[in-house]
Each structure stands twice: as C-alpha cells, then as structure tokens.
Amino acid sequence: MSKRLLKTGLAVAITATSSHGFASGFALNEQSISGMGTSFAGRSSSADDASTVFGNPAGMARLKRDEVYVGAAAIHAKSDISHASANAGPLALSGSNDGDMVPTTGVPMGYYVKPLDDKVAFGLGVYVPFGLMTDYESSFQGRYYADKSYVRVITVQPTLSYRFNDKLSLGFGPTFNHIEGELTSSALNPLSPGSNDGKVKVKGDDTAVGFNVGVLYEFTPNTRAGVTYHSRVKYELEGDTRVSGSGALAGIAGKYDANLDLTTPESVDMSITHDLSDALTLYVGSTWTRWSRFKEIRVENDSATLPANLSTIVEEQNWHDTWAHAVGLSYKVSPQWTLRTGIAIDQSPTNNVDRSPRVPSGDRTIFSVGAGWSPNQDMTIDVAYSYLQEESVDVNHVSATRGTYSARYKNSAHGLGASLSYRF
C-alpha cells in the first residue's frame, strides 16, 4: 500500500500540469502578446519588439532603440467529461465530474533590450516556459488518480546578439530556470472505498541552467527567416511526500524525503515573415518538441526514512515528439493600429495507453486575433485573444490500490493577453 501511495506522489507531481495551456504537454506558449495574436506563427522571424529575446535572440539586432516590454496572459480552461465510471473491485465509486479543474491562471512576462552599437545588442528576459495548475473538486470521481496539482518554471535569460551584416544575425543567451511543484491527491481507504479517504501531498523544487540560441537571415527587406533552439534543461528536484489518513492508512502516515530527476525537452522553432505589401504581412512557422525524452518518471526515495523495497519507484509515460504548425497575418490599418490573426494545429505528446486524468490531452486547434495600438513612436499596447479546442480523448486506468477510472475528455480554453512596449 505505501509503495502505491508514494507512486501517486512525487512521481506525478511534475506531469500534473494540465493540458490546457496553449502548447503541447506542459509547455506554455505565452511569452509574447504580439505573437499570441498570430498564433505564434512568426515567433522566430518577426522580431517586432523586445519579446524576441525569447522568440529569437538574434532578432534583437533589428531593434534600434532601448525597449522595455511587460505583459501577461490569462488562461481559462474547461473540460467536458462524459462516460465516466469508477470502481474499487466489485464496488462502484460515486463522485462528480464537473470538468472545471483549471482555475483562471496568469502567465507574466517581461523583457529589456539595449542596442550597444550598430552590431551588438544586450537583452534580458523573464518568462514562464512551462507549468499550469489543476484543481479538481473534492468529490471528483477520479480523485485517486488526480486532485490538485501545481507546477511552474520561471526563467531568467540574459542575452547578446551580433549582426554580421545587413542579412545575418546571431543571438545567444543562457537560461536560469527555477522549477517548483506541489501536488495533493486522495488515497483510497481499503476498508471503506469511496469514503474516509487519505491524502498525499508532495512538494519539490530545483534550479538548473540551459540556453537559447537563434539565427535570423533577411533575404530581402521584405522577407526574413529565423530558427531558434531552446535547449533541454535537466532538473534534480528535492522535496518530500506527506501521507495522512486513518484506519488502514495510519500505518504509512508521515513525511518521506524524495527526489526526482526531470528533463524539460528541447525544441526548435522555425518561421518565415514576408511583407506582402506595405500594410499586410504573412507569418508561417513550425515548432518541433522532443517530448520523447519523457519515457518514465523515476523517483529515488530516501531508504533511511521509508519501508524496505521503496528506494526506487518508476511510472511509465512514453510520450512522443510533437509538431506544431501555424500561419498568421497582420494588417497595418494606420500608423497607429495593427490588426492580427492566426491559426495553429498542435499535436499532443500523450498516448492512448498511458493517458491519465492529470494530462488528458489530445491534438488541438488554436485560433487567435489581436491588435496593436501605438499612440506615438515610443509606446505600443498589444492585446490578443486565443481559443483552443481539443479532440476528444479517452482515459482508462486500473490500479489495485486506487481502483479504476475511465472517462472521455473534450478540452477547450480561452486565452486573453495584454502588453506594453516602451522605447526610449
């Protein structure tokens, strides 16, 4: 029993991030509001503002003045859960399936770019590349597989770019990443299945270093292409697992030291920006993410504080690599106003066998609109709205100590963002 309870603990604390962000797996796309308006189609080639520190650090060479960029996006998600059933042995387990387990979540971002001369620029970015939160209702029918989950990565990225000539620029920046996670889940009481539940609560964190590098090539004044590589980041989370309960669960109640090695995947973003006219611009882009690194979660527990034979716990994930594709347009209505729109398709990394209520994601389609307002040459205010719709997917899980849970999920989400750019 204790081994299974701990397996629902730190082992899934990181994968507990919801599928309702606007990128696959537990990645987030919201590092730029101007990019959000075109479904991030030109992320590595547009280089229109200081958010290019993340999108493509080589793009800083296009900015001629010091610029500060601050913004935030809010995500509101909803799941339609149907055909749900759960049981423990012959006993059916009751519960609700509201599907509103994702609180409205904010994603902040901030950037600063300073051209040092005609060739060199310095930039600094602070953003959130991974993470989200889920919080099922306490009576959720699948509560033994998923309850409350919180994971967040905050990244600080100092960056330099160099412009070799009128066509070629290169940018590079190390990333300093802090990850933290917290998870609670219910524990099935074998003497009274469906009632007198126990609880498992897990916390852990770590800091690790990665890097981003980008290349921007301007074929003509109207056409440019960019490629950005975001490196993998290896974390060694340290934390604890707390188990509480009465009756049959009292014997394993306590606090256990634990650690987990986790690698967030590398990705390659490629895009082209082409000015069709003085007013109309086309963006086309694709992103590849190496989720296949995420084959399993391996938890190493402190054998000095745990019962025998619990030093290592493994949970299979078997995610696969994904592609996302996007196309977008922007139209400059006047010197003050720019309108944007875009559409994207994004694969889910999960598979039909290992998918759980914690990441019940399917392939998705995203539609976006946005606008930029520049009342003067020094300031721009950008706003954007995105709507995400996923295909229906099935969840089917069986465990000797958590019972069974099966359901069909159909997820959707709304995103709303705003940012302010100031040049001086």
Supply the DSSP string of 241-278, one letter for each residue: EEEE-SGGGGGG-EEEEEEEEEEEPPEEEEEEEEESSS
- Average pLDDT on 130-138 reads 84
Residue 179, judged by CB atoms within 10 A of its CB (0-12, 13-18, 19+), counts as buried
pLDDT of 331 above 80? yes
Q: How much is the pLDDT for 99? A: 85
Asked if residue 320 lies in contact with residue 272, where contact means CB atoms within 8 angstroms, the answer is: no
Identify which has the larger pLDDT, 240 or 16. Answer: 240
For the segment 354-360, the average pLDDT, to the nearest whole number, is: 78
Average pLDDT, the chain: 87
Tens digit of each residue's pLDDT (9 = 90 or more) over 169-204: 999 999 999 999 887 878 888 788 888 888 888 788
Q: Taking the complete model, does pTM exceed 0.85, yes or no?
A: yes
pLDDT of residue 22: 62
- The domains located in the chain, with CATH, are 3-423 (2.40.160.60)
Burial class (CB in 10 A: 0-12, 13-18, 19+), 117: exposed
**What pLDDT score does 42 carry?**
93
Taking residues 101-126, what's their average pLDDT?
94
pLDDT-derived band of residue 303, with 50, 70 and 90 as boundaries?
Answer: low
Residue that wins the pLDDT comparison between 402 and 376: 376
Do residues 187 and 30 lie in contact, with contact meaning Cβ atoms separated by under 8 Å?
no
- Answer yes or no: are the C-beta atoms of 73 and 388 closer than 8 Å: no
pLDDT tops 70 at residue 52: yes
- Give which of 111, 100, 104, 157 is closest to 132, Cα–Cα: 104
Q: What is the mean pLDDT of residues 231-241?
A: 88
